[in-house]
Structure formats: structure tokens, C-alpha cells
Amino acid sequence: MQNIWAPFVSKMDWELAHWAKLRGAGSTAFSDLLAIDGVSEALGLSYHNSNELNNIIDKELPTRRPAFTREEVVIAGQAFDLYRRDILECIQALYGNPDHCQYLCFTPERHYADADKTIRLYHDFNTGKWWWDTQKAVETDKPGATIIPVIISSDKTQITLFRNKSAYPVYLTIGNLPKEIRRKPSQQGQILLAYLPTSRLEHITNKAARRRAVTNLFHACMKHLVTPLEQAGLEGVIMESGDGVKRRGHPILASYIGDYPEQTLVTTVYYGDCPTCDAEKNELETYPCKRPYRDIEAALIAIGTIGTDVWVEKCLEVNIKPVQHPFWENLPYTNIFASITPDILHQLYQGVMKHLTAWLTEICGADEIDARVRRLPPNHSIRIFHRGISTLSRVSGKEHRQICSFILGVVTDIPELTSDQSNTLLAATRALLDFLYLASYPIHSSESLVSLEKALDSFHENRDIFVDLGVRENFNLPKLHFLCHYSRAIKYYGTTDNYNTETTERLHIDLAKDAYRASNHKDEYAQMTRWLERREKIFHHTNYVAWRLSGGATNSDFNSESLTSTPTLDSCIGKRLEDLKCVFKQKVTQFPTVKAVALSKLQDTGANGYHAIHFQHALKRFLVQYRDPSVPLNQVDDYARFVVLPFRSLPIWHKVKFINLDLYGKKTLDSISVHPRHINGDGEVIRPSRFDTALLKVKDEGSWVKGGMKMMYYSLDTRIGRVRVVFSLPSDKLDTLLPPNIPPPTHLAYVEWYTRFSRNPEAFSGLYRLKRDVLADGTVAASIVPLDSILRSVHLFPKWGGAVPAGWTSESVLDNAPSFSLSVFKDNHSYFNLT
């Protein structure tokens, strides 16, 4: 049999090389390891140091992606290095990857949620209107064209912590690949196109001249990169996909992804203006914004006057900077202003929501809002900021996302605000949060886009509360203004996860920061590019070896059914709806957390107890109903008096996890923690008590209400409860508790109930109000239920009633607060299912 591992001599030879290049220590450390007497011989290696291994990779592994070349760019008499790849070869490498050939999209498509085709759906790039419009335009001149949407992203990033060293990578992908592939670095759906020069041109002493030179340097470098697209976009080039089929492809710049500074740099608009429409910085607060995209034809005419006396004047007339030959001036079928897309990370999380948090902190008072944040009840995916949020610095996008999950809950009942002010503030905050969560949907319909626009309408209707309370003078904020363009961009390019900068930020780790760390920090870019080329070869050889070992079957994490597209609600759309709905499956450990907990401790209300005060009575009631569901409710207590529990302790589980194997594998998507306080021998609290709240199904029949693409669980079938105990009945006692013809329950839960959902949520917060369901004796109503009736965990916002009481803590707030609001912002799945 031919050597599968070639050019490596054995499996060991290959796997050690794979480890060394993807997981191992540095080159010097690896050489030192192999230099130990007898190591190479014992392992049967074909190389004896890093140089020999690199030589094998460089000369004997096939090249699937183009090599980097170094060029010089001269600006203001100074030469700068540009490390780049040929853009057409990069596009061919992505387009021709055999691992992805079965998923490539070649034509635009319209998808609908209904048979009458009245509710249009938007998700992948080819479902947007840009591809349709561009296809028609190209077909007019060149019939039979295959559009290759080119998506470029760039962002300068720090690659050291202390030396202020930065890199300026440019990434490229194509819209023919489904977004699931483009978003995952492991799928190799993105390619590093170039490292741009990062010089600040400090040799130019005049600041205005320096800024102009920096902008011209960027566009000069980018023009080097994209010039091949000018002819290829017009005339087409033959592209061969991974299955060997050749088509005449027209690579056309479709979308440019970047944060706001990058957007203004790319479009050459002035900082503070909108990079998409012609609204100027003092007009950004005007709502609704009915302005069209900037006039690309007028901009190109102005740019074309370069070298004349009117060049600067003409550029100023169309409100763009006089930049020498912007890189996009000759790109066919490209409107650079329309190509600027929404950015969830920088525009929303680190832009609008950052502003909102600052405004609310100033209104509520830093001390009060921090006190409330510290006292929120814990829950899965909810981070408790034990030092508050007002003193945070360099807040990451992840931290802003965590803050958004509870910010509405900490701005209710603000002291010193009137009722009307508080209600308006809640409405404005809720509207922005609705917009954020709706904008993050992986699939949109024409109906959900109406909801997106209504959320923005609601914010602008109530935004003056921030002016009235003295935290804003105007709303001329570019990132807030850009929200007006989200609906249009989604219709044009598909949903926002097609072009979110979170993908770019993730690529920085693999393709910039790790690459720099692998160098010796001297002439680093030459080393970084070689390091990346070798890693890419290792990645491709890994796929090849896996393909050979599988007997030639396709090696992919995806299946053809999940990405096949049809004009109706197909399996691809169904999968993304399932991603939003995300029905959870419970997972508990095989063995209990505690093998035996006394019933007395379960009913103990002390610090170490479970506070399940009605446990034995609730269990007896459950057994009566489980034996005979036909027993009338008013007779259950009478029957329960005759039930004898033949045990004094029970096995207890402290955690229940929720997963979805089909969509997320074994990843824990949600969980419920149920445990008392843990105290060490010195009396110190090692772990506070935690009894999470959950959404439970209380009827056997589930009603799914369908409306367009929206699906939500009917509130009449569900209730909120607080889980106090998760347990199972002793297997050796089941014969005394249940008849032999009734299958025993596996796991059970003791749940304290909250009041049922009202018909409508509160008017301004949009959240359902809940209280503990209290019995006549003052205790909370409780029941034993099958564990599988728990659907997911939920997060409750306490009603503060003014200044937060000093005695409340995160551990005790669920016991202390008189009422609560059910949060829908715990995560995207909760938002979709609970709104």
C-alpha cells in the first residue's frame, strides 16, 4: 500500500511534525528535544531538527495557497515593505478548495417562509439583493457569468503588550462559501491577503500632511492588492472549483468589513460623517434617515480630476477627502459606500451599548448601579461583576455582551426619577436591547426586519429622556446613526453574521499575534509569512491524510443536506431556525454529586440546608399522582397521608446541563446549579449557595405558535420555578413505592413556584412580572416534578423598589426581593424563545 503519510515516513513521523507546527514549542526548543541522544532514532523520524522539518514542508508538501511576496511602496521619500499575495490566486485557492466544493454557491437565490412567497428570508450572502443586482448587471455585458463576491476585511491590531508593536493584516474570503465555513478558522474559509505597513510616518512633521500621507499609503498598498480585480471583474477569468468544473468567474468587491475608523479610511469620508450615506456629522441624529447611499458616480468624477487645480474643490463638493487614487476607483460593479456593512461588535457592543451603559450609569449613579450589579442572582452565562461595572477599563466586546444581558434589570426603580421618567428610560433601553438581539439573528424574514425597524423607532421616540436627564445634548453619533442602515444592509448582503468583525478579531490571534510570537522579533514579517505558509501546508496535508484514511470520503464537519439551498424553507433554513429555537436536551452525570443526603437536611432552612421545607409532603403527593394520574386533586392530600417513605436519605445532583448534539455537539449551552452553601473547617464560605430558576413545562401538550419565521413556546404551558433539589429515588426501594407495571422516574426535582404568567407583559420594560407563589401559611408553593419537565434556566431581575437594600446579596436576592421580572436577554436563545 502506498505510504499515506508521505512525504513523512510513518504515522509517528507525520504526527510529531503536525504537533510541532500547530501545537508544539518554538523551533529552538523542538530542535533541542530532537538533539537529545536517541530521541530521533527511537521515534524513527526522518528529520533531526526544525530546519530539516521545515525543509520537508517547504519542498515536499504541495502548495495549495499562493506564497507571499515582498514589495516596496515609497511615500514621501521613504520606502515601506508590503508583504502580499496575488489576490486572484487567493480567490482561486478558496474557490478551488476540494473540501468546500460541494457547498459553493454559484447563483443568487430567493428564499421564502411561505408557499405564497410573501415572506422573504435572508441569511447567506447569496440570498441578498446585491448578488441579484450584480448578476443582472454583469449578464448584460457578459452572459453566462459566475459572480464571485469578494469580501475584504482589514484592521490594525496590537501584537505585543508592552512594546506597542502592531500589525495590519488584510483578510479575504468569498461569498460563494456559506457563512458557517467563512466564520470558522478551522474550516480555512479565510485567507491572509497581506500585511500592510504600520508606520505612522513620524518623519513628516506637519500633522495634517502626515494624516494625508498615511491615508495615501493605505490606498496605494490596497491598490497594489486589488488591481487584478479591475480586468478580471469586467472580462472574467476561468476558475476551477474543487470538483474540476470550470466556470468564467467575475471576482467583484462586494463588501469591506472594518470598524468605524477603518470605514472612514476606506471610503475617504471625513471622520464623524456616515461612511454610507451623505449625512454629515451635525445631521446624524435626524430620524428617520431617508438619505440614499452616497453618489459613487459623483465621487468618481471628483477623483478623476486629480492633477488639476479643481481636484481638491471637487472632492470637497462631494464631501470626501482628496485622496490620490483610492484603491476602489477602477473596480467594476463596485459601490464602495454601499459595500460598508454593519458591525455588531464595534458598532453595537463597543459603540451604542457602551454609550448606553455610560448614560445609565450617570443617571442611576455609579454607586447605586454597582450595588445592583453585585446583587443580581447568578445564572448560567450571567457574569456577576463583584466590583461593579462603573470602574471597568478597556472593556472587551465579550464584557459588553455580558453587561447587555442584565443592564435592563439594574435600571428599574431608580431613586429620584419620577414614574414617567423611569418608564420612558425603560422603554428606550428596552428598544436598544431589542435592536441588538434582533440584529444578531442568523436568519431574518421581511417580518423580523419590520420588528428591527420598530425597535429603532421606539428608541428614537423615547431618546429625549437622556437629554431631559442631562446625560446627552444630541445624538450625532456615527455608530448610532448607522443603525438606520441595518435593515437595508441585511436585505442587500444577508444577515450580519456574514460580515461581523468578530471573525476578523478571531483571525488576528491565528494569523498575526501567534505568527509574531513564533518569530524572533527581528525582520518579523518575513518570518511570519513563512510560518503561516508552513502552517497552511500542514492544515491541508491534515485534511488529505484524513481523506485517505476515510477511504476517499469527503472530510468535513458539514453535510450536504444542511447546506443545500432551494427557494423555499429548506433544510439550511430549518437548521438556522433550530439554532434560534435550540431545543435543549438534559445531561446529568452518571453518579450523583452526593451519594446520600438526609431528608432532614433537604428540609433544613439553615445556611447548609437545601430549604426544601415541603420536600417529604411534596414527594408523597408526587408518588400518589404518579401511581394514579386519575386521582382528583382535592383527594391527593388525603391519599398522601398514607404514603410511607422507606428511606431517610437520597442521592443528590448539584448540576444539570443542557446540550444540543445536532447543532453544537457536546458544548454546554445552559445549566442549572442546585447546591447549598459550602463552608470549610474554619467557617469560611468557599462557595455560596445557589438554587437557579428555570422554565418548566407544566402540561403534556406543547403548543408551538408559528408566525412567519418566529416560534415561541406558549406561556400557558409553562411556569417559572426555583429548583431546590435534584434527586432520584433509591433503586432498591422502588418496588415498595411503585407497582411493577409502572416504569419508575429517572430523575426528579423539587421546585418552588412563582406566579403564573399574566396575559400581557409590563408596558414599558416588556417583561413579565412574577412573584413567589405563597401559600396561606406564608411558605412558597412547591412540587416534585420529573426533571425532564425543565426546559431551560431563566434569569430573574429583582424589583429594587428604590435604593438597593444593603442586606441583599447575590446569594440571597431571590429570597429577599418581593417581586421579579423575567429576563429575555440572558442569551440569544432565551430572547428568541421568551419574547
Residue by residue, DSSP assigns 409-430 as: GGSSS-TT--HHHHHHHHHHHH
pLDDT at 716: 53
Residues 787 and 624: their CA atoms lie apart, in Å, by 17
pLDDT, tens digit, 9 for 90 and up, residues 44-74: 999 999 999 999 999 999 988 999 999 988 8
DSSP H or E run through 624: helix 615-627
Strands 796-798 and 820-822: antiparallel
Lowest mean per-residue pLDDT among 268-282, 369-383, 502-516, 574-588 = 574-588
Lowest mean per-residue pLDDT among 12-26, 258-272, 484-498 = 12-26
- β-pair partners for 585: 659
* Alpha-carbon dihedral 300, 330, 93, 520, rounded to 10 degrees: -80
Cα–Cα–Cα angle for 661, 663, 665, rounded to 5 degrees: 40
- Beta carbons within 10 angstroms of residue 163's beta carbon: 9
pLDDT at 711: 31
Query: What is the mean pLDDT of the segment spanning 194-211?
Result: 88
Tell me which residue has cell 500633522.
207
Q: What percent of the chain has pLDDT over 90?
A: 76
pLDDT at 663: 84
- Indicate whether 25 pLDDT > 80: no
Cβ proximity of 382 and 405 under 8 Å: yes
- Indicate whether 568 pLDDT > 50: no
| Region of residue 614 (left: phi > 0; alpha: psi -120 to 50; beta: else) | alpha
Residues 112 and 445: their CA atoms lie apart, in Å, by 8
> Which cell is 651 given?
442521592
Strands 693-697 and 678-679: unpaired
Residue 694 C-beta-side C-alpha neighbours within 13 Å: 34
Extents of the domains making up the chain? 11-60, 69-268+335-341+499-534, 270-322, 345-496, 579-794
- Indicate whether 446 pLDDT > 90: yes
- Indicate whether 357 pLDDT > 70: yes
Please report which confidence band the pLDDT of residue 831 belongs to, taking 50, 70 and 90 as the band edges.
Answer: very high
Lowest mean per-residue pLDDT among 207-221, 291-305, 372-386, 671-685 = 671-685
- Indicate whether 506 pLDDT > 50: yes
pLDDT at 714: 36
* Backbone phi and psi for residue 248, each to the nearest 5 degrees, phi listed first: -90, 100
CA 333 to chain centre: 31
- Indicate whether 565 pLDDT > 80: no
Reduced to 3 states, what is the DSSP secondary structure of residue 234?
Answer: helix
pLDDT, tens digit, 9 for 90 and up, residues 670-705: 999 999 998 887 778 889 999 999 999 986 433 333
pLDDT at 567: 35
pLDDT, tens digit, 9 for 90 and up, residues 227-238: 999 999 999 999
The closest alpha carbon to 525, from 70, 27, 67, belongs to: 70
The closest alpha carbon to 465, from 514, 512, 414, 540, belongs to: 414
The closest alpha carbon to 730, from 596, 602, 589, belongs to: 596
Q: Is the pTM of this model over 0.75?
A: yes
pLDDT at 550: 84
pLDDT at 291: 86
369-393 in b/e burial notation, b at 16+ Cβ within 10 A? bbbbbbbbbbbbbbbebeebbbeee
pLDDT at 705: 31
pLDDT at 196: 96
The closest alpha carbon to 171, from 149, 195, 198, belongs to: 195
pLDDT at 700: 45
Please report which confidence band the pLDDT of residue 441 belongs to, taking 50, 70 and 90 as the band edges.
Answer: very high
In sequence order, what are the residues at sequence separation of 6 or more whose Cβ sits closer than 8 angstroms to the Cβ of residue 692? Answer: 378, 379, 380, 672, 673, 674, 722, 723, 793
pLDDT at 1: 53
